[in-house]
Amino acid sequence: MVSVAIMGHGVVGSGVAEILTTHKQNLFLSIGEEIYVKHILDLRDFPESPLADRFTKDFNDILNDIEVRVVVEVMGGLNPAYDYVKKCLKAGKSVVTSNKELVAAHGAELLAIAKEENVNFLFEASVGGGIPIIRPMNQCLVANIVDEIAGILNGTTNFILTKMIEEGMQFEDALKLAQKLGFAERDPSADIQGHDACRKICILASLAFGKHVYPDAVHTEGITDITLDDVKYAESYGCVIKLIGKVKRLENGMIDIIVAPMLVPEKSQLANIDYEFNGIMVRGDCTGDVVFYGKGAGKLPTASAVVADVVDCCKHLKTRKFLFWADGDGENILPAEKSVSAMYVRVKGDNIIVKAENVFGQITKICRADSSSDETAFVTEEMPYGEFLEKVSKLEKDNVKVLSKIRLGNL
């Protein structure tokens, strides 16, 4: 029997407790031992829970219980999760977490402590919810050098964008619907401003390239400025707009990492990932493109990924999984202004195509039947983002109003 503790009894935490109870028999068969939930930490009371007798409000009940070998952290947020996880690892307990904020902020340090203590720190559920991604990347693709990762990593924004694309819904209405259906939180800023996707691409980049990438170092744009006009121009250009987290290995050993809305060609595997679903493409030098698709959030999908990590910890109580990356100083990250991309630009003014050609050289005008007469959109050649911004300034000085600028995904 392996005793585990669960810190947090919210959506994911109650899902973990539920799966460990309802799937007890199956889990026993795959480990050869029973997983026993000994403590559940939460400040609230759950008198109706079938595990009511396991609840505690005191973290020390978990920390000081030497029988507890595996601790699940599903509280979310940095505090007190960071402190608790560190203490558990230092006490020789393996830790499993679904907390992407924690892993993105302190992954390197926590992995180093786990290594020192010869225990495991696993976080499959932190990216892609129920979609297997961390373990496949770390194990199945181990014989590959990863060239690129690109993904739709946030279900909330993907739901909103899909509603705009498929039903012509306005951003604000789509957001309200997402909140009503439980796909968006009351304060949706971490999702719609791209921070959630950023944490996830940071975790994947750290894993793939071996050095911690901190979210602060990553150019991050959300979807709040995307309008129905952009959606329609994109469609005329054979593309859909998706919020993409992307990291690419450059030849000089640097990485080009970004989170931003992008125009994705309709034929791309990522273009068909709709609503609350996530999809992650990993390009290996041997495998080529591999895509993982599924529900990126939700109680049971996320909880099942947590439980898979718990099972892995139970199987490796005496050995450590080879999951590790070093700390990072950000020096391997290409500055955003040097990142090269073709750009979609929507503009308003007189004589705009001539003016745009003067500034950008060759452009591709996007024709759209129902656009207003003094507005148009075009796509530039590939150029570094800094150069693009300078050219946009020039265009604005020439009395052209730049309404939107979105990267081309090239995915």
Shortest distance in whole angstroms from residue 386 CB to its own copies:
33
Looking at this protein, which amino acid is placed at residue 142?
A: V
233 contacts 226 by C-beta, under 8 angstroms: no
Cβ nearer to its own copies, comparing 42 with 312: 312
The radius of gyration of the chain's CA atoms, rounded to the nearest angstrom, is 23
Active site residues: 200
348 counts as binding its own copies under rule CB under 8 A: no
CB within 8 Å of 397: residues ≥ 6 apart: none
> Helix 385-397 to helix 352-360 angle, to the nearest 10 degrees?
140
What φ, ψ does residue 392 adopt, rounded to 5°? -60, -40
Q: Which residue, 52, 102, 72, 105, is CA-closest to 5?
A: 72
In whole angstroms, give the CA distance from residue 235 to residue 167.
13
Q: Which two tokens stand for residue 27?
A: 């889990």
Does residue 193 interact with its own copies by CB under 8 A?
Answer: no
> x/- binding map, residues 50-89, to its own copies, per CB under 8 A?
----------------------------------------
User: Does 312 interact with its own copies (rule: CB under 8 A)?
Assistant: yes
Q: Which is nearer to its own copies, 18 or 235 (CB)?
A: 18
Q: How far is the CA of 237 from the CAs of 348, 364, 365, 366, in angstroms?
A: 18, 10, 9, 6
| 315 lies in the site for its own copies, by CB under 8 A | yes
Question: Going residue by residue from 228 to 267, which x/- string records binding to its own copies, judged by CB under 8 A?
Answer: ----------------------------------------
* Window contacting its own copies (CB under 8 A); options: 77-85, 174-182, 279-287, 348-356: 279-287
- Pick from 109, 136, 122: nearest CA to 72: 122
Is residue 322 within the footprint of its own copies (CB under 8 A)?
yes
DSSP states of 193-221: TTHHHHHHHHHHHHHHHSB---GGGSEE-
DSSP alpha helix (H) spans, 34-145: 60-63, 81-90, 100-117, 134-135
Q: Which stretch binds its own copies (CB under 8 A): 62-70, 183-191, 237-245, 292-300?
A: 292-300
Among 8, 301, 328, 409, binds its own copies (CB under 8 A): 301
Provide the mask over 138-177, with x wherever binding to its own copies is found by CB under 8 A and - wherever it is not: -xxxxxxx--------------------------------
Helices and strands per DSSP (H, E), number in the chain: 14, 18
Nearer residue to its own copies within complex by CB, 296 or 349: 296
- Residues near its own copies, by CB under 8 A: 15, 19, 23, 26-27, 30-32, 124, 130-132, 135-136, 139-145, 269, 272, 284-295, 298, 300-301, 303-305, 307-308, 311-312, 315, 319, 322
